[in-house]
A and B are shown apart, each in its own frame.
Chain A
């Protein structure tokens, strides 16, 4: 057996510290929760804010994950992503209003069925819309970033206006299903039930995405395609099908995020998606374009920071997010978990 240096794999040489470096950002989340505890001082306020932050973070993750995956795989930044959030919210709320008797019923299964139907409807609608969007708007401009930004922005304008055409210009108020109303008390802190549900949905989704990405052939194709789409084709796979699948999935996730946000804010408007996009962009940037894990951590960091700062210094909430972005980009200019790109 040869002892040529090439035979020694690099990871045996790397020390523990070096191996942990890529995961360092994961430590930031507990760190910021701890900092929040110290600065806020009151256990109950801190607990309420932390749960609120985690819930918001999960919703941001749901909205942002599709966008970051689409970028990683297809090198497409979809400025129209916000339209899918809005459409998801409107479709979901419409379904929920249809099923009002179910949602208002005293039985938990009926409530959950109503919510499930709303989520399903929203995801189907936005998934189908994603298919059309990819075909009509995005496909002709692959590889041309400037045109992509402009065209997807145009798509956003048109989609927003179409929401007005279909649903009218008024904002719509929506009540949560009966079982999700109210709060539970824990350690003296009132915690809204819905926030716990949002955290649950977000966590399940994150774990499911990781599972799909690491354990299935489709997931392997997506991860391989993010790094080197050409080689995926040279192995015999039609990457354009993977593209459209991921684009539809990403759009459906935005739709899901829209429904979740609608029930959280209990009020929807056509431009809610566009307003949320600002935070979604920040999440995607600090997470590292294309990284699902980075997106997850980024969403939690942004949401926790915003919630703590909103309590400590209400006027600085959004500015604090920008500050967080600046600090993280100074530390890692490509975002917390940059994705390897072959070209």
Chain B
């Protein structure tokens, strides 16, 4: 299990669940043909990576950042701007992703220096302020960024449906599927990298700081430097996730990459999946994106059934799905702060003890 850096999921049900999720994602183009399903699968991959990178600061570092979508957006806009201005091509695409990641890391570094020095709680407030300012700035600088409308651009032809390769298991393999596998491979590699980071001595120190920063400082660890490094890595990975998203969608806009709603989505994914577990990001993001797509249908049916009871019907209105996730989120923080992953592990540990 060297590929997992010795960090196994643990409980058997958890392992099985993860294998199912990853297996489905790996074979998505063949298991679930169709544009909408493939879009959902790609979105899940990208949000898994995004949530995992957020878990590095939130779960392992114990730092709450509200600027994660800003970093995500930097990567996306990096790719978009390069492709838009330099024209379609592999070099601008890769260069854009790299530039976005570098900018994200640099910005994260500056914010960390400013706010983590005083109190960790400052960081939450300052990231919120900076991220909002950035979102406004992007929508105002419409000459450069396309403003609220965002940017459409061309990606290398090999990644578009126009590029046909042949047939496999009755499915036409085209550039779109190649594009999906680019996303999948990118997310997998980066996720494994994050797993390696949290399993390394660096990750352990980070957790020690989260548990007791005073003590870690006293033992001699430069707390600020560790926290700043974690934020930078997390920001860079988020930017790369954003770059993949931009490549997949062939479009960026404030609504898809920078909005506060996405920030809250990521928060929900990590907390419900399980903070400080990395695998929680996989389950959290999958559950969330599926809920976003399918819970609403379910609630619509419920609302219809209860249409005679006025307030109940409105509580179950499909547009109110976030209400229920919000309640679930609060309950998660109180009663199972280690999320779904923590629950599954605890259950497995209990049954192992009783046998």
Direct A–B contact present (CB less than 8 angstroms) = yes
**Which residues of A line the B interface, CB within 8 A?**
77, 79, 137, 140-141, 145-147, 149-151, 153-155, 157-158, 161-162, 164-165, 169, 274, 277-278, 281-282, 284-285, 315, 318-319, 321-322, 325-326, 329, 333-334
Query: Is B62 in contact with chain A by the CB < 8 A criterion?
Result: yes
Q: Mark B320-332, 1 if CB is under 8 A from A, else 0.
A: 1011011101100
Are the C-beta atoms of A326 and B114 separated by less than 8 Å? yes
Provide the bound-state CA to CA distance between A282 and B122, in Å.
10
Known contacts A140-B334, A141-B334, A150-B64; can you find 5 more A-B pairs with CB under 8 A?
A149-B121, A153-B264, A157-B322, A158-B326, A282-B129
Closest to A325 in B: B129
25 sample A-B contacts, Cβ–Cβ < 8 Å, listed by A number: A137-B330, A141-B334, A146-B64, A149-B124, A151-B333, A154-B327, A154-B329, A157-B325, A157-B329, A164-B320, A165-B311, A165-B323, A169-B319, A274-B260, A277-B128, A278-B132, A278-B133, A281-B125, A318-B132, A318-B133, A319-B137, A321-B129, A322-B129, A322-B130, A325-B129
Query: Is B337 in contact with chain A by the CB < 8 A criterion?
Result: yes
**Which residues of B line the A interface, CB within 8 A?**
58, 62, 64, 114, 117-118, 120-122, 124-126, 128-130, 132-133, 136-137, 140-141, 260, 264, 267, 271, 311, 314-315, 317, 319-320, 322-323, 325-327, 329-330, 333-334, 337
Interface centre among B133, B264, B322 (most CB of A within 10 A): B133
Closest to A149 in B: B64
Are the C-beta atoms of B326 and A154 separated by less than 8 Å? yes
Provide the bound-state CA to CA distance between A325 and B330, in Å.
31
Given contacts A149-B121, A322-B130, A155 and B319 within 8 Å (CB-CB): no
Provide the bound-state CA to CA distance between A329 and B137, in Å.
22
A315's contact among B62, B118, B140, by CB below 8 Å, is which?
A: B140
Closest to B120 in A: A145
A250: min CB distance to chain B, Å: 16
Query: Which A residues touch B267, using CB under 8 A?
Result: 150, 153
Provide the bound-state CA to CA distance between A318 and B129, in Å.
9
Closest to A314 in B: B140
Interface of B is mostly: helix
B334: min CB distance to chain A, Å: 6
Are the C-beta atoms of A315 and B141 separated by less than 8 Å? yes
Are the C-beta atoms of A147 and B330 separated by less than 8 Å? no
Query: Which A residues touch B136, using CB under 8 A?
Result: 318-319
Are the C-beta atoms of A329 and B327 separated by less than 8 Å? no
Query: Which B residues touch A278, using CB under 8 A?
Result: 128-129, 132-133
Provide the bound-state CA to CA distance between A146 and B63, in Å.
7
Interface of A is mostly: helix
Provide the bound-state CA to CA distance between A100 and B130, in Å.
40
Are the C-beta atoms of A158 and B129 separated by less than 8 Å? no
Query: Which A residues touch B330, using CB under 8 A?
Result: 137, 151, 154-155, 158
Interface centre among A141, A150, A325 (most CB of B within 10 A): A150
Provide the bound-state CA to CA distance between A282 and B127, in Å.
11
B109: min CB distance to chain A, Å: 14
Provide the bound-state CA to CA distance between A154 and B333, in Å.
9
Query: Which B residues touch A333, using CB under 8 A?
Result: 117-118
Closest to B270 in A: A150
Given contacts A151-B333, A154-B326, A157-B264, A285 and B120 within 8 Å (CB-CB): no
Given contacts A153-B264, A157-B329, A318-B133, A281 and B320 within 8 Å (CB-CB): no
B267: min CB distance to chain A, Å: 7
Closest to B124 in A: A149
Are the C-beta atoms of B62 and A146 separated by less than 8 Å? yes
Are the C-beta atoms of A329 and B114 separated by less than 8 Å? yes
Interface centre among B121, B125, B311 (most CB of A within 10 A): B125
Query: Which A residues touch B58, using CB under 8 A?
Result: 146
Query: Which A residues touch B326, using CB under 8 A?
Result: 154, 157-158, 161
Interface centre among A140, A319, A321 (most CB of B within 10 A): A319
